Structure formats: structure tokens, C-alpha cells
Amino acid sequence: MKLRTVASAATLAILLTALGACGDDSDGDTSGDSGAGGSSSAGLEEAQAVFDAGSEGVALAPDGSALAPGEIAAQELGPVEVEPGTSVFFVTCAQTTEGCVLNVDSMREAADAAGASFDFCANPDGAIAGDQKCMEAALQADPDIIVTNSINPENIATQLDDAKAAGIEVIDQYGQVEPDPAREASPFSGSMGYGDAAIAGDWLAAAITVESEGDANVLYVGTKSYAIDYVSRSNGVKDGLEKYCPSCSFDTLNYDITQLDQLPSQIQAYLQSHPDVTWIVGGLGIAGTYAVDQVRQASKTGSVSVATFDQDAANLPNLQDGDILKFDMATARLVNSWASVDIGFRLVAGQDFDGVERGGLRIMSADNVDEAPWDGPADFQESFKKLWGVS
């Protein structure tokens, strides 16, 4: 791997160009193989620049531009008065995975800090029926704000219509759909991180390009239960490889989250039937964990590398070792939870904005794993409290 250097102003400018190139990530088919043509030295140079800057960590403003160190996106929107008695209901994923538990705990902490009430419903297995049941529970609670965790709006269309009719603000966390505060062009009035997942995938593609020196056969392992995974992150990696490494190939392996115990054997079978694969990207942290295990069991350490997302604690020792797991894309998980309720507070207060806030991203590797988990700017909680007038 090329040595990582501290990001210069020129490097950061190239990174921001890459951010703007990601665009809307809501459509596109990620199935099948892609990749043709020769590696570009310009592509490698751009990938190196993105990798250098991304390894330092960047917090994103609402428009997707980089913020100064220590800032959060909400500061761009100014203060907001949280109405007394405001209530928040979170529709989220099973409390059996680290990221889902952290999400609930940090969102509850944010609501408590603002003096708002908080409740949640967790879909136990990722099935559509579970999302619908949790949305019905949210509607029965009649909160001011519902936050949904990367749920396909088509799966809860009836409940979203009911929320709109009831005047409940609905925030799409890890947003895959552009919001509309008036909900005329979108079922969501707000979005935490609209477009961020595609950017994260793009950065990971840059890191893979650098590590492989422009020669990688990539398998993306994702679940269709979460749009952030099988659409946004997957497309981000695919499009990034086409940009930085046109000679690299890309394929997908989709699994059913309700049958997660079968994923290790699926990865094993793919490795056996595709001996030329050199990289596996786990779209969720658990997929990355299983990929590392299967590469090791197949005695492919050194020939197959793994990258993943979410900074799950189980993956950090593997990242420290660096023999198989090379990269873990960090999202500002705790900031995202606080920002989700901040969006809701602003919409309830009638603030005029587009309903979007952003988080932050950082490429974690053996070089900076001692700073993991990275969850955004230090003391971000105090920044939110000041905006809410409760500091």
C-alpha cells in the first residue's frame, strides 16, 4: 500500500470534487459483473488523493461540502427552539447488532438532552412485516417526530401516508430518498445523510484502488433488507471503481437478513467458484466479519482482502492486524442519531430549510485504528445542546 500522507489543501479540493460527483444514489442495478478497459494513472492519483483526505476524517455540511474541524452540519442551520413536550419515536433495526443498539442509545440521549420524550420499536428480523408493524406502533404512539432507519419507503407506503395525514414529521435516517418538508415530492419530510452512503462507497473504492494499485476483482456482499446497503453503498463502490479503476471488476452477492446464519456458507461457495476474486466488501459490519472468517478458513490470506463499513467492535482487532481486513468505513454514527432528532425539531418548529443534515466519514485502517471508533467531531453533543438552548 502507498504511504498515507496528511491531507493538503489541494488533496482536500480533489476529495470535494469526488464528493460532488457521487450525485443521487437512489436508482441503479448493482447486480452482475462490471469492469473493462485499462487502469488510468489519473484515476490512481485521484484515488490516492481521496484516500489521503478520507483517512483524516471529514464532517459534511448540509450541501455535502467539508466542514472545518470540530464543526457539525446543524451549526450551518443556526439555533432552534425545542418545543416543550416534543416526542420522538424511532423505527429501527434488531437490537442484536452493535450499530443498531448504539443508534437507539445515542438517539435516546439526544432526546433526553433536549427535554423530549423518546420511544422506539425494533424490527426483530429485517422482514417487511416487521417494519410495517413498527410503523403502526409509531402511529399509535402519535409522536411529533418519527425517525426511520433506512427503510424502503415502498414497504411502508401506507404508514407514511398515515403519518403525513396526522401531521407527523418523518425523518429518513441514513436517507436514501431526497426529502421534501412539504411532502409533496417525497414521503419523508427530512433526511439524515441523504447521499452520504454513496460517498462512503466511493471513498472505499478509492482505498481499494490504492491498496491494489489499480488491479482488483471485487465482490460486494449486501442485503436487500436495507437500501443503504444494497443500493447506496453498493452503487457507491461500483461507480467509484469505474471512476478510479476501470480495469477492476465488480460483482454482488445478495443475502437475506432473516437467514443471516447462511451467509458464511454463501461466501465460502463464492470463493470456491470464483478463484480470481481479490477483494470482498461487506456492506454491513457483520458481513465484513463473516468475510474475514471465510477468507481465513479458505487459506486465502494474502490473496483476498476485505473492506467493510460501520466500525463494529468485532472487526477492530482484524483491522489492527491488517492481514485480511484492510479498511473499515466509519460513519459518524452518534452524530447521525443526534442530527436525526435535530432535523425533526427544526421541522416541528417550522424552520425553513430543505430537511437535510449530513454526518461525517472516515476511512479507518491499520494506520489509524487506534483512533477507532471514530464517530465525528469531539464534543459534538455540546454543539447540539447549544443550538437547542439547553447547554
- CATH of 23-64+196-331 among 3.30.460.10, 3.40.50.2300, 3.40.50.720, 2.60.120.700: 3.40.50.2300
Per CATH, 23-64+196-331 and 73-195+333-361+375-388 having the same topology is answered yes
**Which amino acid is residue 271, in one-letter code?**
L
Rounded Cα–Cα distance for residues 171 and 152 (Å): 13
- CATH of 73-195+333-361+375-388 among 3.90.1640.10, 3.40.50.2300, 3.30.70.2750, 3.40.50.720: 3.40.50.2300
pLDDT attached to residue 39: 52
Beta strands in 189-344, from DSSP E residues, in sequence order: 190-192, 217-223, 249-255, 279-282, 305-309, 325-331
Nearest to 178 by CA among 167, 186, 166: 186
Find the DSSP H helices in 179-219. 196-212
pLDDT attached to residue 204: 97
pLDDT attached to residue 11: 40
Within 10 angstroms of residue 103's Cβ, the number of other Cβ atoms is 26
Per-residue pLDDT of the chain (391 residues; tens, 9 = 90+): 333 333 333 344 445 454 544 544 444 444 444 444 445 688 999 999 999 999 988 888 877 788 887 889 999 999 999 999 999 999 998 887 788 899 999 999 999 999 999 999 999 888 899 999 999 999 999 999 999 998 889 999 999 999 999 999 999 998 778 999 999 999 999 999 888 889 999 999 999 999 999 999 999 999 988 878 988 899 999 999 999 999 999 999 999 888 899 999 999 999 999 999 999 999 999 999 999 999 999 999 999 999 999 999 999 999 999 999 999 999 888 999 999 999 999 999 999 999 999 888 999 999 999 999 898 888 999 999 999 999 8
Domain boundaries, the chain: 23-64+196-331, 73-195+333-361+375-388
Rounded Cα–Cα distance for residues 202 and 208 (Å): 10
State which H helix or E strand residue 173 sits in: strand 169-173
Distances (CA, A) of 323 to 34, 150, 175, 250, 263: 27, 32, 33, 22, 22
Query: What is the 8-class DSSP label of residue 189?
Result: S
Say if CB 126 and CB 223 are below 8 A apart. Answer: yes
Rounded Cα–Cα distance for residues 163 and 123 (Å): 19
State which H helix or E strand residue 106 sits in: helix 98-114
Within 10 angstroms of residue 239's Cβ, the number of other Cβ atoms is 22
